[in-house]
Amino acid sequence: MPRRLGLPSVYLAAAVATAATTAVPLAMTPASGLALRPAVSEPTRPYVVTARSRVAAQDLVGEVRWRVRRYYTAALPGFATFLTAAELAELRTDPRVRAIEPDRQIHPMTAGRSTRPPSVPGTGAGTTVYVVDSGVDAGRAEFGDRAWRAFDATGGTGRDCGWGHGTQVAARVHAVSPRARIASVRVLGCGGSGTLADTLAGLDWIHRHARGPSVANLSVDGADSPALDAAVQALVRSGVFVAGTADSSTCRVMPGGAAYSSIAPHLAGTAARHLERHPAVHPSVLASWLKCTAARGAIRQNPSGAPDLPMRDGGL
């Protein structure tokens, strides 16, 4: 099971700031930042609310009672908010709500290396790989002009100010598909961790902006999150191949179509090679081409990282 630590101090600060403000009209902005709400005297905690439909989500967000932090328009029908205990109980009984889960910390996962070269010819030309991580040092010479900072859910500049996890992932994707474009989608902060709400915002941004043959590399933990599962599945349905990191070296496909392996960057780069030759192929078909082994159950992800293991079953 993924490690779950205490809530970051940013939540406490944001909760205090929210409680100290007066009401203002809600800005219906996709994955927006804080929308200020009336002051409350009770303690609040951060949650992610998944609605039963986009109309239901819009209705809920439009109600002035909730202190909405982010509103998702594509990845899932829902929003991130601060709730008191009474508000949480009220929302749990609302027929418009499908699920509510606490917002929590998200951690990077160590991506292993593959000792085998890709069996698919190509360079990834014409494709875009979205690296959902700690940011990418787009100025590195090896990337040339193919990497850029596309989105930063943390409110920063997209710079990889942590310990370089996102840049390392991007470099491994680039090594497999040197002509693929690398779009940095930063969801982790400088301290090395992020939040579920920010990770969902990153996937929401990709869903709304991805054009042409696209791959998303998700080398962060997020097991047991219904909202994250729903966002990944929605991204796959939209035509974006998702390669996630897991603690198994075997490439496996989840029921929604996302593929998971300890060598996710290698998997993402290989997928880009396939998409160069077959740009219109659906992610589920692409996964079968990559010779992934179907798995019905959930894949347990290990936030402490997976070892650098070679593929045992070939195909990549």
CATH code for position 201: 3.40.50.200
Confidence of residue 249 (pLDDT cuts 50, 70, 90): low
In Å, how far are 134, 142, 143, 209, 210 from 168, measured between CA atoms? 10, 12, 12, 24, 22
Examine the domain organization and report whether 43 and 173 are in the same domain: no
Burial of 155: CB neighbours in 10 Å, binned 0-12, 13-18, 19+: exposed
Q: Are residues 49 and 122 in the same domain?
A: no
- For residue 175, give its domain range: 106-294
Bridge partners, residue 31, by sequence: none
Residue 306 lies in a domain: no
Question: What's the total number of domains in the chain?
Answer: 2
- Going 235 to 238 to 243 to 246, the CA torsion angle's sign is positive
State whether 88 and 113 are in the same domain: no
- Cα 316 to Cα 131, 262, 264, 312: the distances in Å are 19, 12, 11, 10
Distance CA 106, CA 18 (A): 23
Instruction: Please check whether residues 22 and 166 belong to one and the same domain.
Output: no
Asked whether residue 215 falls in the same domain as residue 99, the answer is no
Q: Is residue 310 part of a domain?
A: no
pLDDT in tens, 277-312: 999 999 989 988 887 754 333 233 333 333 332 222
- The model's pLDDT over 182-213, given as tens digits with 9 standing for 90+, comes to 999 999 999 989 999 999 999 999 999 999 99
Is there a single domain that holds both residue 77 and residue 149?
no
- Contact between 179 and 147 (Cβ < 8 Å): no
Q: What is the pLDDT of residue 11?
A: 39
